[in-house]
Chains A and B, each alone.
Chain A
Amino acid sequence: MLKVSIYRYNPETDKAPYMQDYELDTEGKDLMVLDVLELLKAQDPTLSFRRSCREGVCGSDGMNISSKNGLACTTPLSEAAPKGKLVLRPLPGLPVIRDLVVDMEQFYEQYKKIEPYLQNDTPAPAIERLQSPEDREKLDGLYECILCACCSTACPSFWWNPDKFIGPAGLLQAYRFLADSRDTATDERLSNLDDPFSVFRCHGIQNCVNVCPKGLNPTRAIGHIRNMLLTRAV
């Protein structure tokens, strides 16, 4: 029997959050954590969580799985509960709406700040803006982010200053546009990142790298941004 302990909170009826214990017969299968949640929801329909694609592409089911942020749909029990005990909590630091569902507003606010779209002030060409294979390669390891928020909510700097520090997810995307040969707003983008909080609250502890379900490296991208800022400043 798999023991599962899940963070429960319904602000309409509960004074405070609590952990609820469940038991589930997995029939010896190495299920994904999302499968476990679906089976438990069949037992207890009040259990709330987000999910959509169930294959690690949409980023809806980011949560804290046995003390480590990850996607429920791509985390197997063999990894999350090797001793038969699974603990599920919402992503840390964000306000809880209900059970495992968090309010992502602060996360999206930071994403919005970095203006995550191509900006080019040169006249649009007749067909499309071409890019050499080498320039396209610079976007590898950046464009794959699915904005699940596992990284930013694993970052103490984001916990303390979610209104001022952009966080690893936002900064990875900031660099994605700084590194794009088709984008001409590099200087404005860098000017907007030059304060003591937006980029520089990153102290390089790499919690983000440790949890990213897509295997991306926000710390490295932040290092590139810092080097661009330094090159411009000195």
Chain B
Amino acid sequence: MVVVRTVTSFGRSGTFDWLYQRVTALVLIAYTLFIVGFIFFSDDFGYESWSALFAQSWVRIFSLVTLLSTVVHAWIGLWSVVTDYITNRMMGPKATALRLLVEVLLAAVAVIYVVWGVEILWGV
């Protein structure tokens, strides 16, 4: 019995990857509705109300959770794309190197965004 096992997926298994992707999608929807709702329904939308909003800890935490959700969601999705199109079956051994390169770049972008995001959220 040949069983496919990979260590590069995000979760412990395909099941958890699937679950993480759905849960993070819900967080992204909630945050999008929250921010768009705030912009459209606040009477005096501007610098004052915006900075007052982000002065609250729970908004910063919600924002950070959303940022982390984006990273997890994007990683699982893009890992699927990369393993669909850059395969050893189609390209030979060089696919491994190319896939690794793309994955390292994605991981680097993810780390940069998270650190940068924390800096922005708690920096002002």
Contacts and interface: CB of A to CB of B under 8 A. Distances in A.
Interface of A: 113, 115, 157, 160-164, 192-201, 226, 229-230, 232-234
Contact of B14 (A157, A163, A197): A197
Contacts of A197: 4, 6, 14, 83
Contacts of A233: 13, 15-16, 19
Contacts, number: 60
A195 B5 CA distance: 6
Interface stretch (B47-55, B59-67, B84-92, B101-109): B84-92
19 contacts: A113-B1, A161-B84, A161-B89, A162-B89, A194-B13, A195-B14, A196-B6, A196-B9, A196-B17, A197-B4, A197-B6, A198-B3, A199-B14, A200-B15, A229-B14, A230-B15, A230-B18, A230-B19, A232-B15
Interface centre among A113, A115, A232 (most CB of B within 10 A): A113
B14 A198 contact: yes
B13 A201 contact: no
Contacts of B1: 113, 115, 192
Contact of A200 (B3, B18, B84): B18
Interface string B57-79: 00000000000000000000000
A195 B2 contact: no
A234 B18 contact: no
Interface centre among A195, A199, A226 (most CB of B within 10 A): A195
B10 to A, nearest CB: 9
B74 to A, nearest CB: 16
A168 to B, nearest CB: 16
A201 B15 CA distance: 11
B106 to A, nearest CB: 16
A81 to B, nearest CB: 33
B6 A195 contact: yes
Contacts of B32: none
Contacts of B87: 160-161
B83 A200 contact: no
B80 interface: yes
Contact of B13 (A113, A115, A162, A196): A196
Given A196-B9, A196-B17, A233-B13, 9 more contacts: A113-B2, A193-B14, A194-B13, A195-B3, A195-B5, A196-B6, A198-B4, A200-B17, A201-B80
Contacts of A195: 3-6, 13-14
A21 to B, nearest CB: 31
Contacts of A160: 84-85, 87
